[in-house]
Amino acid sequence: MNHADVIILGGGLVGATLALALDAHGLTTIVIDPADPAVVLAAGFDGRASAVASASHRMLDAIGVGADLAGKGCAIGSIRVSDGLDPGALDFAPAESDGALGVMYENRLLRQVLQKRAGSASGIDLRMKTRAASVDRGDAGVTVTLTNGDVMTAPLLIAAEGRKSPMREAAGIRIATWQYHHNAIITAFHHERPHDSTAFEIFYPAGPFAILPLLPVDGANRSALVWTVSEKDAAGMLKLSDRGFLAEAEKKMGGFLGALSNLSPRSTYPLGFHHAARITAERLALVGDAGHGIHPIAGQGLNLGFRDVATLTEVLVEAKRLGLDLGDPQVLQRYERWRGVDTLMVAVATDGLNRLFGIPGKTASAVRRFGLGAVQKLPPLKDRFMAEARGESGDLPKLLQGLAA
């Protein structure tokens, strides 16, 4: 197709989910992405795994994606937070009737399912291995000319291009940004003792050490690891032998999962913060990392993007039903208002947590342990934190409630 309701730049996890959510409600999309599917779906491309919060999962179920993921992720039954290996951990364990806090999926699996669905959807024109050569956003609509010469038009353009979004920069949208001067080391391993569907977040001065439950492989217990280290140490951590790396990881864990083995390939990426001053411009909306990038301390990055998807879908579906121009400033202003406060609050909270747990010294550690212990003894406060982890706080769009928009 050469004309659609929406053109999406970027077909990653957030961009593809948005296209599928709009398709489920009868809106057509053209998705443009320079990536080669053969590369991004390859086994060794990305060892990352993501926690999909329970509210986000309800959206995936509502748009028909959940069925393709059934049985392929590991439920997060509880979360255990501690300051180092000292006593005084905080346990988030919801009642059995409340269900899991979320589900851990390997990113590669999510990409496979989303791309397969998008490729077969009648209302989605998926254009991989190409990019926009020029974009014109004007009073009459959006015109995008691709590198192969094809010309596409729509009333609205959506940027889902990630942290370094070229469209955000072209639109002159300013961002607040800084680097943490830390890197995340990403990998996975087998371990002797079962994880019991528990996610562990152990805080050290250099940053969090997160162990995230994965499904067993050939009967072997398995978890993903997100280990924050100083940027100057990242290269050395990648050069360690598998045996040496697992020995260091076992020390950080205090051996509570027993012997570690079968280390997966390691990768690393620098940690930074950015937050766009606004997430809309003339006939343009930003979603996912194009609008906000946060520290992975609470595992909420992808879920923030999914909340963008649910909100923007509801705004656009209602506008379409009313016969409005999808690129009208008032339509975009509703999305801006709905998402602005939530994304800022989560960004500030994750940045503050990272700084709080990064303060060295015994006094700071004692204060943190006191705080964790206090929260442990206050069920209403624990419930509030669990609602945040589930993505169930605030003014929820219908999709995050499992309803059609």
CA distance 145 to 389: 41
Determine the pLDDT at residue 343: 72
Determine the pLDDT at residue 239: 94
| Interval 379-395: pLDDT, tens | 555 566 556 666 666 67
CA distance 114 to 16: 6
Q: How confident is the model at residue 377 (pLDDT cuts 50, 70, 90)?
A: low
Averaged pLDDT, 102-130: 94
Determine the pLDDT at residue 99: 75
pTM confidence score: 0.89
Lowest-pLDDT choice from 147-161, 265-279, 316-330: 265-279
* Full strand arrangement of the beta sheet holding 124-128: 124-128, 29-33, 6-9, 156-159, 284-286, 280-281
For residues 23 and 179, the model is more confident at: 23
Using the predicted structure, report yes or no on whether residue 5 has a pLDDT greater than 70.
Answer: yes
| Interval 203-212: pLDDT, tens | 888 788 999 9
Inter-CA distances, 344 with 305, 348, 350, 351, Å: 13, 6, 10, 11
Task: Supply 327's token pair.
Answer: 């690129």
Average pLDDT, the chain: 87
Across 17-26, 74-83, 358-367, which has the greatest mean pLDDT? 17-26
Please give the span between the terminal C-alpha atoms of the chain, in angstroms, as a whole number.
25
Determine the pLDDT at residue 335: 97
**Helix (H/G/I), strand (E/B), else coil: 65:** coil
